[in-house]
Amino acid sequence: MPRAGLSRAAVVELATQLVDELPGGPEALTLAAVAQRAGVATPSLYKHIGSLDALRAEVALVGAIDIRDRLRAATVGVAGVDALRALAEALRSYAREHPGLYLALQRAAGPQDPELVRVGGEVVDVIAAVLRGFGLPPERAVDAVRTTRAALHGFVLLENGGGFGLPDDVDRSFAALVDVLATGITALREE
Interacting residue ranges for a copy of itself, rule: CB under 8 A: 27, 106-107, 109-111, 117, 120-121, 124, 140, 142-144, 146-147, 149-155, 157-158, 161-166, 168, 170, 172-173, 176-177, 179-185, 187-188, 191
Give the separation between CA 83 and CA 1, rounded to whole angstroms: 54
Taking CB under 7 A as the binding criterion, the range among 2-10, 104-112, 160-168, 182-190 that sits at the site for DNA is 2-10
Taking CB under 7 A as the binding criterion, the range among 34-42, 75-83, 123-131, 175-183 that sits at the site for DNA is 34-42
Q: Does 40 bind DNA (CB under 7 A)?
A: yes
Taking CB under 7 A as the binding criterion, the range among 23-31, 67-75, 110-118, 170-178 that sits at the site for DNA is 23-31
Q: Which is nearer to a copy of itself, 6 or 119 (CB)?
A: 119
Q: Does 7 bind DNA (CB under 7 A)?
A: yes
Least Å from the CB of residue 35 to a copy of itself: 22
Give the separation between CA 142 and CA 181, rounded to whole angstroms: 14
How many Cβ atoms from other residues are within 10 Å of residue 97's Cβ? 12
Q: Does 5 bind DNA (CB under 7 A)?
A: yes
Q: Does 4 bind DNA (CB under 7 A)?
A: yes
Site for DNA in 47-86 (CB under 7 A): 47-48, 51-53
Least Å from the CB of residue 26 to DNA: 11
Least Å from the CB of residue 49 to a copy of itself: 20
* Contacted entry of a copy of itself, DNA, none for residue 2, CB cut-off 5 to 8 Å set by kind: DNA
Short-list 132, 122, 99, 79, CA closest to 25? 99
